[in-house]
């Protein structure tokens, strides 16, 4: 029985690799030009329409219904997700499915944002008719000011014409990115208009990396007996026992009123190493006025302080009194770092 021939993998020639990079650069240049054209249009005729769309959504009692078909449908689904995650209640309705019962998802208090580059998708006709019948506000995002969708809309966001990145000027590439960019711009304008804060954001993003970054020091800190604390005047031998038993590599030093006034770290031990180190008071070794944080500080900000200060733990205080301690390892376990 003949042995099978080994597979031969041909590596790309330098010319082929260079051609691929050149193609990628042409694509990015074309798509970048499309986004730049939107920015220019917003400073001209698109600006008033954008403001009108903002006001319509901002004042709506209901939700934003984002709809589209094909590539525009995929973009619409993402825009709806961005609206919802930034404080504007929204969901996606497929333009074709709308005619088969999904129109029942849309109420008179809602605002419809319909995406169609040509503005002439026949599947959207019933949705337009429904919006007119029940006086539901309709915002169009299209490149054709004279299209059926644009004429039917209460507000028409007419995007500037742009060449697709596809060399045949056919595959939706630049146009899809432009629709997405304008949708993102509208979502962020609404976020800022509503004063949507990082606290609000954390409520809607409790999971994953974002959820971890939006936790607070109070969610991760160790409290009570776990906090390594000793008063002024403590001998270094006792402070070292406290430091070792609590496992944070440091011990906070408090004055008679319980206010944090210093900290002894592994680094302080190395800097003050001498034969009688264990017998001297912590007052002679501690770093005064240590960095502390409040319990309401975001975990992401705590991580920034740790990294910029090149330290591994932060004591959490309330009215200058220690109430907790956060270690770099706590942030790692929570997925912040």
Whether pLDDT at 324 is above 90: yes
pLDDT score of 37: 96
User: What pLDDT is attached to residue 6?
Assistant: 54
The angle at the Cα of 210, spanning 204 to 88, to the nearest 5 degrees, equals 30
Domains of the chain in sequence order: 29-196 (3.40.50.10490), 217-334 (3.10.580.10)
pLDDT computed for residue 238 by the predictor: 95
- The beta-carbon contacts of 96-99 under 8 Å, at least 24 apart in sequence, are 96/69, 96/123, 98/67, 98/126, 98/127, 98/130, 99/123, 99/126, 99/127
The predicted pLDDT at position 184 comes to: 97
What is the per-residue pLDDT across 270-306, written as a single tens digit (0 to 9) for each?
Answer: 999 989 999 999 999 999 999 999 999 988 889 999 9
- Look at residue 244 in the predicted model and tell me its pLDDT: 92
66 and 113 in contact (C-beta within 8 Å)?
A: yes
Q: In the chain, which ranges are continuous DSSP H helix?
A: 14-42, 46-58, 71-85, 95-98, 125-133, 148-152, 174-194, 198-204, 208-213, 217-220, 236-246, 266-271, 299-309, 328-334
Which pair of structure tokens corresponds to residue 260? 């944090």
User: pLDDT at position 209, please?
Assistant: 63
User: pLDDT digits over 118-142, tens only?
Assistant: 999 898 999 999 999 999 999 999 9
pLDDT exceeds cutoff 70 at 148? yes
- Taking 60 as the threshold, does the pLDDT of residue 114 lie above it? yes
Place of tokens 């008063």: 231
Question: Please, what is the average pLDDT of the chain?
Answer: 90
142 backbone dihedrals φ, ψ, rounded to 5°: -150, 165
Top-confidence residue, 211 or 61: 61
What is the average per-residue pLDDT within 154-162? 95
Mean pLDDT of 325-337: 86
List of residues 6+ apart from 170 with CB closer than 8 A = 164
Residue 80 has pLDDT above 70, yes or no: yes
User: What pLDDT is attached to residue 90?
Assistant: 95
Q: Inform me whether the pLDDT recorded for 186 exceeds 70.
A: yes
The answer on pLDDT for 185 being more than 60 is yes
Q: pLDDT-based confidence at 335, cuts 50/70/90?
A: confident
pLDDT at 181 over 80: yes
- The band of 336, judged by pLDDT with boundaries at 50, 70 and 90, is confident
Neighbours of 207 (CB within 10 A): 8
Residue 247: both structure tokens together: 């496992």
For residue 299, the model assigns a pLDDT of 87
The side-by-side arrangement of strands in the sheet containing 229-231 is 229-231, 250-254, 260-265, 287-288
Q: Compute the average pLDDT of residues 135-151.
A: 96
- Mean pLDDT within 180-200: 89
Over 90: is that where the pLDDT of 38 sits? Answer: yes
Strand arrangement of the beta sheet that strand 313-318 belongs to: 292-293, 313-318, 321-327
pLDDT of residue 199: 65
The pLDDT, as a whole number, for residue 178 is 97
Q: How confident is the model at residue 333 (pLDDT cuts 50, 70, 90)?
A: confident
Tokens matching residue 240? 């070292």
Q: Which residue has the higher pLDDT, 209 or 254?
A: 254
What's the predicted TM-score (pTM) here?
Answer: 0.66
pLDDT above 90 covers what percent of the chain? Answer: 77
pLDDT in the model for residue 18: 85
- Non-local (6+) Cβ contacts of 64 within 8 A are 57, 80, 83, 88, 89, 90, 110, 111, 112, 113
């Amino acid at each position: 029985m003949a042995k099978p021939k080994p597979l031969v993998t041909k590596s790309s020639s330098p010319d082929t690799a260079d051609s691929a990079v050149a193609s990628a650069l042409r694509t990015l240049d074309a798509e970048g030009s499309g986004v730049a054209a939107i920015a220019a249009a917003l400073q001209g005729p698109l600006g008033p329409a954008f403001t009108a769309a903002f006001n319509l959504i901002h004042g709506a009692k209901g939700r934003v219904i984002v709809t589209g078909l094909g590539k525009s449908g995929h973009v619409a689904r993402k825009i709806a997700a961005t609206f919802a995650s930034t404080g504007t209640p929204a969901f996606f309705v497929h333009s074709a499915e709308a005619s088969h019962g999904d129109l029942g998802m849309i109420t008179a208090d809602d605002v419809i944002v319909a995406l169609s580059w040509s503005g002439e998708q026949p599947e959207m006709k019933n949705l337009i008719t429904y919006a007119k019948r029940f006086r539901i506000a309709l915002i169009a995002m299209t490149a054709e000011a004279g299209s059926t969708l644009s004429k039917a809309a209460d507000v028409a966001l007419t995007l500037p014409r742009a060449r697709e990145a596809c060399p045949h000027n056919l595959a939706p590439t630049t146009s899809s990115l432009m629709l997405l960019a304008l949708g993102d711009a509208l979502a962020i304008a609404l976020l800022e208009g509503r004063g949507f804060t990082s606290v609000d954001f954390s409520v809607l993003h409790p999971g994953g990396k974002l959820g971890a970054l939006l936790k607070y020091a109070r969610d991760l800190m160790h409290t009570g007996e776990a906090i390594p604390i000793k008063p002024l005047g403590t001998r270094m031998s006792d402070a070292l026992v406290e430091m070792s038993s609590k496992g944070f590599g440091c011990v906070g030093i408090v004055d008679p009123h319980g206010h944090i006034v210093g900290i002894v770290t592994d680094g302080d031990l190395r800097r003050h190493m001498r034969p009688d180190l264990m017998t001297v008071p912590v007052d002679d070794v501690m770093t005064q006025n240590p960095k502390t944080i409040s319990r309401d500080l975001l975990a992401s900000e705590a991580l920034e302080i740790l990294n910029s200060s090149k330290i591994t733990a932060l004591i959490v205080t309330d009215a200058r009194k220690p109430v907790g301690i956060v270690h770099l390892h706590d942030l790692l376990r929570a997925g912040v770092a």
